[in-house]
Amino acid sequence: MADDTAPQIYLITPPEFELSTFPNLLQRVLDATDVACVRLSMASRDEDRIARAADALREITHARDIALVIAEHQGMVERLGLDGVHLIDGARNVRAARKALGGDAIFGAFCGTSKHDGLTAGEIGADYVAFGPVGVSGLGDGSVAELELFAWWSEMIEVPVVAEGGLGANEVSALAGVVDFLGLGEEIWNAEDPVAQLKEFSKLII
């Protein structure tokens, strides 16, 4: 990523939300700030609930020309008309997912803090690699993806990189010049005013 290119916002849904209210909130957030991609990342394993959520979010995101990917459930991508899948186990399933869904789908791989996993994922077809958490977060085993990892990746590797997990104002400011995307989820949704919170983060990356 070029140093003079600001990262884009990659929005991650809450793990649980009400279909009666969240779509309206998402619309307000997307209309307030430029967002490149939304990830449906639900804790539920209820296929019907996930499908209904995906249907609701797809209408909102696609109306705004924003990609919608789903975490883990690659088998639902084509059936629900989604844009791709975010794999959470590093490089393990990238090749198989690419074979199953073809070249048009977006494939992302969360690689924790492992440079090796990130490189492998990129080599076998991931469209982006995500590292994290970058701050205090429940993601992974408590390890933190250091700024040096993103700086090295940005300089050496062409595959776009996402920073996610535990992003505060300091982390966003520090990472702005060395990542392609900032993965914001609970940092937005846990705020009293998610729209205002996202606007504040956006000011840090302009």
Within a domain: residue 191?
A: yes
- Taking alpha carbons only, the member of 170, 166, 180, 153 closest to residue 204 is 170
> How many of the other CB atoms lie within 10 Å of CB of 66?
18
Q: DSSP strand E in 42-159: where?
A: 67-71, 84-87, 106-110, 128-131
Residue 157 has what pLDDT? Answer: 97
Instruction: Report, as an integer, the average pLDDT of 169-192.
Output: 96
- Burial string for 2-11 (b: 16+ CB within 10 Å, else e) reads eeeebbbbbb
Identify the H or E element spanning 11: strand 8-12
Please determine, for residue 3, whether its predicted confidence score (pLDDT) is greater than 90: no
Average pLDDT over residues 20-40: 97
Q: What is the pLDDT of residue 188?
A: 96
Residue 3 lies in a domain: no
Contact in structure between 51 and 80 (CB atoms under 8 Å): yes
Range 193-204 average pLDDT: 96
18 in any annotated domain: yes
Q: Is residue 2 part of a domain?
A: no
Q: Please determine, for residue 201, whether its predicted confidence score (pLDDT) is greater than 50.
A: yes
- The sign of the dihedral angle between the CA atoms of 23, 29, 33, 37 is negative
Whether residue 185 lies inside any domain: the answer is: yes
Tell me how far the alpha carbon of residue 108 is from its chain's centroid: 8
Q: Which residue is associated with the tokens 């050496």?
A: 156
Residues 92-97 have a mean pLDDT of 88
Given pLDDT bands bounded at 50, 70 and 90, which one contains residue 2? Answer: very low
> What are the tens digits of pLDDT across the range 101-144?
888 999 999 999 999 999 999 999 999 999 999 987 665 577 89
* H/E segment holding residue 63: none
User: What CATH number is attached to the domain comprising 88?
Assistant: 3.20.20.70
Position 92 scores a pLDDT of 86
State the total domains in the chain.
Answer: 1
- Min mean pLDDT across 134-138, 178-182, 195-199 is at 134-138
Domain span including residue 194: 8-205
Question: For residue 20, what pLDDT is reported?
Answer: 96
